[in-house]
Structures are given as C-alpha cells and as structure tokens.
Structure 1
Amino acid sequence: MTSRIPGRLARRALGLAAAGLVAATGLAQAQPQGQSPPASYPNRPIRIVVPFAAGGGVDTVSRPLAQALSGILGQPVVIDNRPGAAGNIGMEHVAESPPDGYTILHSNSGVLVTNPILYSNTRARPSRDLLPVGQVTTDPLLYIIPASLPVKDLREFVAYARARPGQVSFASGGAGGVTHLVGELFAIRAGLQLIHVPYRGAAPALTDLIAGRVQLMFDTLGLVQSHQGANSIRLLAVATPERLAALPDIPTAAEAGVPGAEVNSWQALMAPARTDPAIVAKLTAALKQALASPELLRLYAERGFLPTFNPPEVVRDNIESETATWTEVIRQAEIKLE
C-alpha cells in the first residue's frame, strides 16, 4: 500500500457501569523496590500524563475522570498534557518517573500496543516499564464514508474499491495510529489496494471525507455523532466482534462480509514499573469507583465514549495479545516509521 501527505457516534445506557536513571537493562530496573507506601497515600497532588494535546479523545476522557478520582482519593488530580512523537514522549516521561504513585499515564491502546512495534527508538516498553492500573473506556471504531459515495453498505464498498485498485483512499488521524492500522487490516482482509492518507488529527480527516476528497475513514462514536443527522456521512459497519447497543442497526464488519477485521481500541491508566502493588491496588479501586459514578457515566455517554472498567490483568493480557496481531498486520502492510 502507498501513503501520501494531504494538503490538508450516541448515547450508551448509563448502566455501563519509572525510575530516575535509565539502567542498561531497561527503565523498569532503574528504581529499586520501595518500602510499603504510607497509610496517608496519597498526601499530595497526583499527575495524570496524557500523551496527546488538550481536546483530543484521551484528554476528553481524562479530565472528568481526574475530577472523579480527586474526590475519591482526597487529593487534587491534575492533567499534564505531554504530546509529541505519536504519544511516545508522554509514555517515556511516565516510565522514567519515580514509581511513587504520583505520576500515572492515561493513554490509548495505540501508544501502548503499536508504538513499540512501529518505533524502534522508543525508550519505554509498556510490557517492561509500565504497570496497568485498569481500563477506562472501550472506543469502538466505525467504518465511515461520505454520504455522496454511491455505495450503501460494506459489500458494495468492497466491490467499488476492488473495481478501482489504487484509486480509493482511506484517511487516518496520523500514520501508525490505530485508525491507520485498522484500515490496513481491512484492506488485507478484503483484498483491496487502498491509498492511506494520514492527517494531523481526526477532525481534518473527517472534513475531507465529508467533502469527498477521501472515501473511507475509521474513528469513534464521539467524533461523528454530531454529523449523523446531517446526511453528510454514512456508517457502514463497526469494527467490533458484536454490534453496539448504541447503533443496533449497524452491522459488524464480519456480518457485512469482511471477517477477521475486528479491532479492540481502548484507553487505560498505567503506572511506572515497580510501583508498590498497594499503591496500584488503591488506584485501581479508585478507578473502578469512579467509573461507577452516574455523573461520569452521563458525561461519557453524551460524548460518545463507552466506560469499561477492567482490572490490571485484563489490560496486561490485551497488550500481549494485540501486540501479536498488530505485529503481523504491520509486517504484511510493510509499514515503516521513524
């Protein structure tokens, strides 16, 4: 597949309910095991590092979560946006921070799973340098086309693209991100030759999709919910194993004729490796309590996010299994990033 640089969903029921110096053997080994945390933890503000700019999807989830955690933990929880290098700067910062529970990462699965595959120069490796605190949301991805495209379902889109090899493009919010990789996975499973067009974020990609400059993109409920009633876009499928309760009439990609293109996109909190297990357990309990808050659930539903608490071991297993999946996709698509 080829790439070029351009010129330039939604309610869900509210019941949804590190390490100073870098050792030669890895960041996780740079900090010795500490003593048991003081009973007063936390006794000062906690920073949640978001490895993206303010206003993006992770940031939008993180800010109300920080408020909820502050009330539960009895200390201010502040957001520290550290964008850059596709999220690697923020991830590395947390991995290299003292494992004392006062600096944690809120990131998406793209940074935690695919970045270590795509960027060989990334100093931090989540499996080695970070500990899961818990999953925060599930972010289902949708197959989105402009309403002007003369196809009405995914089968017709596949036929349309197959008849125009190398002429149909899909947009993403950036090279190497999950919205890029799901497009590559779809093309592989459907046997299509699509052109990848990376943008600097999802918003400009959606603008060009609506204008018909690109023919397909993949993104979340939250991005497109305001456009559903405007007849400017059409949703062909969801990239999830099952249909979404919020979109019961939209089929899965497998139902629509493209099996094997299921994708799990999610967000999670992570702490520096070697953080005391008692601190991680306290943060996990606070996260679980926050995600049961009716107010937080309401806010997330309004913004198209699906709160999904999962404990650390589930996050760890997801990172491991998805790393294997995306390693193969990246190999087949011959994606190379610096």
Structure 2
Amino acid sequence: MLKITIIAGARPNFMKIAPIIKAIEKAKTENKDIDFRLVHTGQHYDKKMSGSFFEQLGIPEPDANLEAGGGSQAEQTANIMVRFEKELMENPADVVLVVGDVTSTMACSITAKKLNVQVVHVEAGIRSGDLSMPEEINRMVTDAITDQFFTTSELANENLRKAGILEDRIHFVGNTMIDTLLSNMDNLIDPKIKVDGKPLENQDYFVLTLHRPANVDEEGKLQEMMQAIMDGTGDHPIIFPVHPRTAKILTGLGISHKHLHYVEPLSYLEFNYIVKNSKAVITDSGGITEETTVMGVPCLTLRDNTERPETITLGTNELVGTKPENLKPYLEKVLSGTWKKGGEIPLWDGKTADRIVQDLLKIYSN
C-alpha cells in the first residue's frame, strides 16, 4: 500500500490538491494500492474555508490541522516543522506530497526529508528569479531536496535540468489548478454584486486584486497606482475584492472613486464567476494569471517578473510592471478590443491529477 501524506497550508493549496485527492479515490475504486492522509498546517486561517468550501471542491475535511498559523516567517516555519514532525512520526507515510510555494511547502519538505521520507513536489521548477519574494525562497529550498518533480510547463522542466535534476525525476504533467477550474466551470456562483443598484453587466467591468508588498506597502506608490487604474479604465466599474480592514485603510488614504467598488473577499466559485465575465483582470497574483489564460480573459500583471511566463507567451497575460505610468497603453488595448487572444497551454487539460497518480503508482510500485 502506497501511503501518501498530502500537505496544504493556504487556500490556493486546497484548489491544487482537490483533483489529486479525487484521482487517488478513483484509483482506490480500481483496486490500486494507494491511500492518503490530508494534513492542513493551518498556515492561513481563512473564515471562508468552511465545510462548504471543502464540499464545493470535493475535498474531505483534513485528517489533521496543525494550527501553526501566525507569527513571523521564521516562527511559522518552525511551528509547522515541530508539529508536522510529530504528525509524521505518529502517522508514517511513504511519500509526503507538497504543492506550490507557500511556507508549509518548504517546512514540511524539510521535515519529511529529515525523517527519510520521500518528497514529491507538485508545481516544481517554476522560478521568478526574484529573491525578494518569500515564495521564491520556498520554491528553491523545496526543489533542492525533492525526490520527484511534477511540473506545469516545459520551462519549469528546463529550470530543473539546469539545476542538475536527472530527467527520470522530472514529470511534465500539467496544472492541477486548471483541473479544479475546468471541473467547476459549470458550478461558478454569481455573487450578485450590484453597482449603483444594478447587477454587473458581462464584460463591462474590471476585476482588481492587489496584495504584494511592492504594490501596497508604500502609501504614495499605492495612491499613484490606484489613480492610474481609475484614470485608465474610463467609465467601467472596478470590482476590488478586499478585506474590510484593508478597504478602510485605502479609503483613509483618500483612495476612492465613483467607479471603484470594494467588495468583501469572495469564495473560489464566486471569484472565478466575476473573473470569467469581466472585461479584464488587473492583479499582482500568480495563480490568477493561469485562470484568466484558460478562461480567455485579458490579464494585466502589476509585477516586474513572473514565475509563470507561459501565461504571457501562450496565454492572455501581460507583465505591466510596478510603475503606474506603464498601465495606460495596456488598458487602451483592452478598451479598444485589441488585446491578444492567447491559446492553449500544453497539458492544461483537466487531466493532470490522473497523470500524477498514475506516475506515483509506477514510481513507488516496488
């Protein structure tokens, strides 16, 4: 019996592991010798991660919650490692499977390796080249000690080859985030957002998300960026899902406009509903660039680098940068309807998790 401990620490992780869990459960019905234990590190507390969240994505309630959230990066890493070591010693596994690039990914990988347990990294090999991002450190450390690498793109494969990883440990399987998105396209939920008392009109509004320190920590820069967004989007509403506390700070800075609408954070199914029906998305998130590419929605990324270049070369994403003055020509393309169409990305087909489970059974069948 192949025993896999699956790690999730933050909301995006659960979207990445949901299809893997379904694929394992499917393999079990086919009498394959495989089972899993789901461990939530508790890295992020998210009130929207209720039973309904797990139910919507078809994820069972975690077998364990380490409740290791809070504190500085170092404190959080240490808490996760201490608690996960105890968990893994009490519930031994053949493989620890980690996804993405959050603190939990790195911390649980280190803990597993020190207990001589195999580590599998899903979404391995992606790099931004920006060491000021905590996520980049997490990626590099995790991939330095991973045993088997499951990748989303040929570029990720190349990054791993350059790091000296042998070909037989690299498995190009696709993107489990896209598995989740495609399996939920018919289940998206209209959050019934109203602007001036009227429902949003399809493809008549922009969606905005901002969270990276480079964009939000400097008040003056944030004001300039928001002004550039409001100036460049014309009369179109801008829907900005944001925590009420952050909205209060933004309003306190005088960042308000008749077309700018703060809404509370949305669930996965609600958020992707408004993305799918928007004119374009303005964001500094990495994951959203993948989803917009698959949905064919223009995406303007307010960053100077990206770990997902395939969303630019093959998809609907463009790297705008972090200077407010860069925005105008990109927004003009959106408003004039001349934004690039984008195309399909290899293996982003909704079958990634099946490939992962098949490969795991082959690798660890001895």
Q: What is the TM-score when the length of structure 2 is the normalising length?
A: 0.29
Point out which structure has higher relative CO (alpha carbons under 8 A, 6+ apart): 1
Which of the two has greater helix per residue?
A: 2
Q: What is the TM-score when the length of structure 1 is the normalising length?
A: 0.31
